[in-house]
Every structure is written in C-alpha cells, then in structure tokens.
Structure 1
Amino acid sequence: MRLFLLPISTRRTLIYCERMHEKLASERSYLDKITNKANETWALWEKDSKSIANWKKTVTVYGNKAFKRIPFEEWGLKTVPALTAKRRKLELEGKEKVEVIFPRRFVHEERVPGILRQLATERQALHKKRMIGSIAAMPFSAPFMLIPVVPNIPFFYLVFRAYSHWKALTGSKHLQFILENKLLKPVPSSELDEAYAAGLMYPTRELSRAAPLPTQEQVDEISNIVGKQTNDGSEDVMVLQRWNGKLIAERFKLPEMEIEIERAVEQVETAIKGKEELLEEKRELERATASPDSVQTEEPADKKTPSEKFGETLREKKSDVSKT
C-alpha cells in the first residue's frame, strides 16, 4: 500500500492512498456493488438533460457544490482502505508493505509520523458523531417519499454522508493501526520535490510542462523562500497550486489524485484568504478607532497579504534561481 503525504500549505496536508487493484466482480462485496452502482447512476444523471424539468442534472449540480464543502481531510481518509482481518495479518507479518511518499524539501522527514498521527486521530470523534447523526436523521426524511417522480433525495444524501463518515473513520483507524505498530516506511520523493518547486516557479501548467525540471539547487532555493515566508511558522503559506495537481497525478500515473489535490487546494486557499481578510478588517478597525496623534505617527500599513508577498518574493528570486 502506498500513501502520499502532500502538503497543501505549510500547515495543512492532504493524505492520499493509492487505490488497490480493481477487484473482480465475483470478489466485490454488496457494499462495493452498491457504491459502484451509485457512482454510475450519478455520472448518468450529470449527462441527462431529458428528465422532467431537468431535475436529474439540477440535483447533480447542487450535489457537486455540496461535495466541495466536505473537508478535504475527510476525502483523503476515505481513500485509505478499511483494516480487514486479512490485511491486518499481512501488514503485521510484513507481507504487505506500507510506504508513505512525501516531498522531503517541503515536509521534514521527522515531522511525517506526527502529521500522519494528527490526520488519523483528530477527526475520529467527529466522524463517529456525524455518522450516528446522519443515521438518526434518516427516518425524518420519510415524508419526501411522497413527492412524485423525484426520488427521496434527502434520504439518499443522509445515506451518503453516513457512509462517507464511516469510510473516513475506518480509514483513520487503519492509519492509526499502522502508526501504533510502526509499520510505516517513509520514502522521500525527489519527483515530488521537483513538482512542488516547478509549481511555485511557474504561473501556469503550460509553462511548467514546457520548462526543464528544476535542479536540486533550484528546489533548495524555493524551499528556503517558503520557509522565510512563514515568519518562523507564524503564517500559513500555500505550497501547492491548483493546476499542479494534474501534473503530479500524471507523474505518478494516478488520475484519481488530481481531483483530491484540486479540492484541497481550493479549500485551503479559501481558508487562508478568509483569515487574511479578517486580519485586514481588524487593522482597519484599529486605525479607525485610534487617536489622531497615534494615526499621524503611525507608519503606513503594508496591506499585502502573506500570499501576495510570497508571490512577489518568488518573482524577485525567480531570475536568480533560473541561472543556477
């Protein structure tokens, strides 16, 4: 089993587990078959424009918006398979190795176990509570069965959320088991280091594709710039671009990884932007309520956000880095 530890910013990290080989139809459980059927039905609804009042496509549009609001940490844990008795035995006997791939220049190796332990344990109580809550709410969706033509959407949404929390909970417990039994093998990846550095050096996917791979000196330089921009860890700085998810997924031949990265980057960008806007509002309020004397002597505030400063620093350094 291969895990990928992908820092989205200097404080938030995505975990992604490479999917196991597809099971034969005869080996699939009822839950696997139901899940596959639900995915196929949803894909068909997204393309269906012939339903009455176009309700199928409308449901998928609003449903996809709701899915985007589900925390990326939950999606990441759902990729980790449940710990079955067979898998437990294979892992304890060393017959199934568990590797974690990570970019060493953007995540120090000594931090890897701690990050994984936090991802494994911090949301377990939440997933359990919300799984039970979703199940308890299912009977209250019964009146929606009376609506003609349209299926009971609230009920199926609650089923999905209960299943999603259960999957995340089992994934987190499997990850915790791996850590407690010291079965994890950290594997630093120079390919990830190059991909992260290229994503910060170039503004678009096309330019990154066309450019040569960053040298080790360039990777080190970009990593040092990121470290400086955090102000000794006091500020959260983005280290992964949304468009870079496709390039990383292609490099490791894992197309399913792309959407996980893009979703995580979008959520972290929104969170950082919201925090920066709140800080700016606080500064504006402090300036507005300050005494005239203090306003006159106050130096002009730097209104650039940490992310904007980071972009400027990279642009200033880029010419120097490219020459190395």
Structure 2
Amino acid sequence: MKARLVVFPIKGKIWCFSRSIDQSASAFNSANTPSTVKELWKKISSNSKPLNANAELLVDFISNKMNNAWVGLEKAPEGSFKNKLHGFGLQLLARVKPSEILLKSISKEVTNVRITYPPSLNSRLVRRRLRHIAMRGTVIHRKYFYGSVTLLPLTTALAVLPLPNIPFFWVLFRTYSHWRALQGSEKLLELVSDYSRAQNPSAEMMEASKELEELLRKGYENGSVNEKAISDICIQFKLNKIDVLKWRDLV
C-alpha cells in the first residue's frame, strides 16, 4: 500500500506533516476487521498467524466498536446527554498532537511513501525532519503506551459508580492511540531511513510540487499560511483540514 505525505511550512519555523486521505485504505481495513464477537473468535481460532497478529486483530475489533459508538454519540439529538458527551470528547481530542495523528495514519500495510513538498525546501532536510518525528515517536508513544496500560485497572474500578465510566474509555482510547502511533513511528522510520532506501529505492519517492509552492506563496501572510490557502491545499492534496490546522496552532 502506498501513502502520500504532504510537507510544507505553515507558521514561522513550524512545518505541517500530513497524510493524504486514502478512502481505499479505509475500506480495506473495514472489510478485513470482524464486526461481531463470533466473527472475531472464528478468525482468531482458525488463524495460524503469530500471537501478535491475533492481538492486532483484537485491537482492530475494539477500535471498530469504539468508532461506531463515537458515531452514535455524534448523531445524538442536540442537548441530550450523549450529545454533551460528544462535545466533551471533542474537547479531549483537540488536545491530541498532530504528530500523533500523522504516525497513527502509517499502518503496517504501508510499503512505500511519496513525500510531496514545495521546491523551496531542501529534500534532505524534509527527510531528516520526518526521521526525527518517527524516532521521537518511538520513544514518546512507547512510554505513554505503558503508562496508559497501568491506568486501565484503576479506571476499571470506577465502573461501580452509577455513571458512564468516561475515564476508562478515555484511557482505553489513549492506550490504543499510543500503540498505533508507536507502530506507525517504527514503520515510518523504516521507510525513510537511509538503509531502507539503499535496500529498496522504491520504498520512498521525493516529489517537489510547484503547485504546492504557488498555493503557499499566495496564502502566506503575517508569518503564517492563511486559512483560505490551507483550505485550497487540503482540497488539492486531499488532506484533513482539522489535522492541518493543528500544526498551525501548535505551541
């Protein structure tokens, strides 16, 4: 599976690193994830793959259930408890760093990446910054993954309260998120490393885009890229605007 990463300066010395939305990848993951406990058990019991592969299948199943529950909250009537719960969840999600979102988007199925960047940037520096994000991610998300795992038993105990166990579900989500980001960090580091390029030159392709450069030139004002230019870039390169804005608002 191929992944397209778009890199460009968005505010001062801050760069944006975002993956283009790939609908086919989402459809592939959904089709290969069991939707019921019966299907999950059937796949695991008939699976000759190693234990870690079955663990990933279980994690994907839980993630799918969490996503469906989140969609249910999103569709809840205005002013209802579920609707307020969804709003609270959005506030928590706003705190997730954009680098984590990028790393989570690099799944194990990705075999090569195409890095699109404006010609004004040095290609070696672009690759170096990507490697830095990946290397830093392997350290940070491994640490927070183990930290989140240790909190799960404590938050599980709150189930005795006559209220939704929001802390448990939040910690469960953060555990999953850090685990995915860790996996993505290791995969991205593998794809953009010098060794990987030497072994498999097609694993990475640098693409200087004059179109991206022009959109940035028109929209750069007061030290950052304005929102109209960001919208145009997101449309042209199929990026998630909310994720891109997180880079611009990064402190």
Scaled by the length of structure 1, what TM-score is found?
Answer: 0.60
**Residue 113 in structure 1 maps to residue 127 in structure 2:** yes
CA separation of 1:110 and 1:161: change in aligned 2, threshold 3 A:
same
**Residue 245 in structure 1 maps to residue 230 in structure 2:** yes
**Residue 260 in structure 1 maps to residue 243 in structure 2:** yes
- In the other structure, the counterpart of 1:194 is 214
Percent pairwise identity: 25
Matches within 5 A, 1:272-287: none
Q: Which amino acid aligns with 2:140?
A: L
Give the alignment's Cα RMSD to 1 decimal: 2.4
CA separation of 1:167 and 1:241: change in aligned 2, threshold 3 A:
farther
Matches within 5 A, 1:276-315: none
The CA deviation string for residues 67-116 of structure 1, in whole angstroms up to 9 with x for no partner, is 1112111111111113x5xx5xxx4xxxxx421011122x2223112111
Is the 1:245–1:257 contact (alpha carbons within 8 Å) kept by the matching residues of 2?
Answer: no
Is the 1:46–1:60 contact (alpha carbons within 8 Å) kept by the matching residues of 2?
Answer: yes
> 1:33 Cα deviation (Å)?
4.2
**Residue 63 in structure 1 maps to residue 89 in structure 2:** yes
The CA deviation string for residues 155-205 of structure 1, in whole angstroms up to 9 with x for no partner, is 11001111111111111111110122123211011121122112126xxxx
**Structure 1 gap segments, 5+ residues each:** 92-96, 202-236, 272-324
- In the other structure, the counterpart of 2:142 is 128
Matches within 5 A, 1:101-180: 101-105=116-120, 107-148=121-162, 150-180=163-193
Larger strand percent: 2
> 1:26 Cα deviation (Å)?
4.3
> 1:15 Cα deviation (Å)?
2.1
The aligned length equals 216
Cα distance in 2 for partners of 1:33, 1:243 equals 38
Is the 2:14–2:247 contact (alpha carbons within 8 Å) kept by the matching residues of 1?
Answer: no
Rg bigger for which structure? Answer: 1
Cα distance in 1 for partners of 2:186, 2:70 equals 29
Cα distance in 1 for partners of 2:205, 2:248 equals 26
Q: Which amino acid aligns with 1:192?
A: L
CA separation of 1:47 and 1:137: change in aligned 2, threshold 3 A:
same
Q: Which amino acid aligns with 1:251?
A: Q
Is the 2:113–2:205 contact (alpha carbons within 8 Å) kept by the matching residues of 1?
Answer: yes
Is the 1:120–1:176 contact (alpha carbons within 8 Å) kept by the matching residues of 2?
Answer: yes
Q: Could you tell me which of 51, 68, 76 is aligned with 2:102?
A: 76
Is the 2:145–2:179 contact (alpha carbons within 8 Å) kept by the matching residues of 1?
Answer: yes
Is the 1:14–1:76 contact (alpha carbons within 8 Å) kept by the matching residues of 2?
Answer: no
Cα distance in 1 for partners of 2:101, 2:144 equals 15
Scaled by the length of structure 2, what TM-score is found?
Answer: 0.76
**Partner SS for 2:28:** coil
Is the 1:8–1:265 contact (alpha carbons within 8 Å) kept by the matching residues of 2?
Answer: yes
CA separation of 1:24 and 1:114: change in aligned 2, threshold 3 A:
closer
Is the 2:103–2:185 contact (alpha carbons within 8 Å) kept by the matching residues of 1?
Answer: yes
Q: Which amino acid aligns with 2:145?
A: M
